[in-house]
Chain A
Amino acid sequence: MTALTESQAPASPLARLAGIVPATLAWLKNLVANILPPLVALTVLLGVWQLLCMGTGASLPAPSKVVTDTWTLIVNPFFDNGGTDKGLFWHLFASLKRVAIGFSLAAVGGILLGVLIGQSSLAYRGLDPIFQVLRTVPPLAWLPISLAAFRNADPSAIFVIFITAVWPIILNTAVGIRQIPQDYRNVARVMRLTGPEYFFKIMLPATVPYMFTGLRIGIGLSWLAIVAAEMLIGGVGIGFFIWDAWNSSLMSEIILALIYVGIVGFMLDRLIGLLAARVSGPRARS
């Protein structure tokens, strides 16, 4: 007993240290391997941009000029001077709020309609051709109609989001349901699962990966559509901010806003991706 502790005591800190060093090294190596390539690519890109736009006659500002022009906006995203004169955070927040409402409605409606046309071949034959035509209508083409119907800017923008995001959700959910293997249906029949039991125990888990594919495409499209819709409807929102900056010829502000729009879109996509991974887990694969 004592011999054991004696022989272990001096060995353990050393052993631990010996374990930490290669582990840290491996972690660093991994970090470098993942961070370095995009960093290099970004630097090269910015360098080329800087070189191209450095001249006095350049129509677009170079990155260095963008940063100096918009420094007040970058360091001060939360100011609010009333009206549309707000910090970028508030513009992004307003856009995100519209997307959140429109996209949630699209998710609920899209999944319900998808389940309907996936389950019933009659509904599929009736509705699928209509959906196939409607889904090719560009989002902004809906804006005049929704403005006429709602007579109000905000619900119109939300409707545009809804109608943009709903198609991929419907179609992917329907495909998911039609892909449920006959074997699973047979299992349900042999067990005599009731309708709701079948829905929750078999249909939903089997379709979740497809639903999330639809949701992921949908959120991307909503974010594309909201910027365009806001340019037209005005008010607070990142789309209007860009349009306003264009009207005042503030190119640097437009570029800053574009970068923000890109980052937020990327984060939305990742958010749905993470959610999908959480919900379906690694077991969704058959």
Chain B
Amino acid sequence: MTAYLSLENVGMEFTRGKDRSVVLKDVGLKIDRGEFISIIGHSGCGKSTVLNVVAGLLRCTTGGVLLENREVDSPGPDRAVVFQNHSLLPWLTVYDNVRLGVDKVFGRTKSREERHEWTLRNLSLVHMDHAVRKYPEEISGGMKQRVGIARALAMEPKVLLMDEPFGALDALTRAHLQDSLMEIQTALGNTVIMITHDVDEAVLLSDRIVMMTNGPAATIGQVLEVPLKRPRRRLELAEDPTYTHCRGEVLRFLYERHRHAEAA
């Protein structure tokens, strides 16, 4: 059986003049439909490069990415991205930011009325019904990220790609958004790849955690299954032995076996 999404020996090299730097080497990963994967590693290890290759924003120099057995060679709405800094267009309202993607993806298949409904439905999925007419600068950072998620979800992606989606948020807001994301994922069963550097976030949200070694020539060091039942509740998990064990595994990987060179 072939995987839903598979990364096959993905390698990435940048050449600038005579300098050649290998960023990624032999990254191989198979992801099933409906799986929640997080990629964790020290900063600069090429996590975002992996995500950008899957998104099609970057082309890998060796290997390739297959989604439903078709090669990924350009960006597209079937691999919608939630960017770290939300990237909402400041001249469009919350509604119009989401609607832009909806119109683009469903312009031919859904009527105007249906697209309107669909836009609102996705905004209510992230609990943003109250602010549809607001502009991005009028809402908080957490809300902007919610809208960013709604925009990506509204394109009905086969894979939802999230590049440190909650990295810029304070701890409380981040927890709220993580809960929302789990709720949505339970309801919709999306396939998700999320980049993070937060160990708790990775364990709480993921089915599998992909840990990356340090660059240059970073690759996958270890893949950890998180056998926690869903729905997960952060309070109950705090003392759950499986949770503690998984958390320990990730920490050991990051701080014992692959300590950041500069941090050492």
Q: B-contacting residues of A (Cβ < 8 Å)?
A: 181, 183-184, 186-187, 189-193, 197, 201-202, 205-206, 280-281, 283-286
Contacts and interface: CB of A to CB of B under 8 A. Distances in A.
Interface of B: 55-57, 74-77, 79-81, 83, 85, 87, 89-91, 100-101, 104-105, 135, 137, 155
A190 B76 CA distance: 5
B77 A192 contact: yes
A283 B137 contact: yes
B90 A186 contact: no
B100 A186 contact: no
Nearest to A286: B90
B75 A189 contact: yes
> Chain B at the A interface: mostly helix, strand, loop or mixed?
loop
A283 B76 CA distance: 28
A192 B87 contact: no
B104 A193 contact: yes
A181 B91 CA distance: 14
Nearest to A194: B104
A192 B56 CA distance: 11
B89 A205 contact: yes
A184 B85 CA distance: 11
Nearest to A208: B91
Given A183-B85, A201-B100, A283-B135, A190 B91 contact: no
A192 B83 CA distance: 16
Given A189-B56, A191-B100, 9 more contacts: A183-B83, A183-B87, A187-B87, A190-B57, A190-B75, A191-B155, A192-B104, A201-B89, A283-B91
A181 B89 CA distance: 10
B91 A205 contact: yes
B87 A184 contact: yes
24 contacts: A183-B83, A183-B85, A184-B87, A186-B75, A186-B87, A187-B83, A190-B55, A190-B76, A190-B77, A190-B79, A191-B77, A191-B101, A191-B104, A191-B105, A191-B155, A192-B75, A193-B104, A197-B104, A281-B91, A283-B90, A283-B91, A284-B90, A285-B90, A285-B137
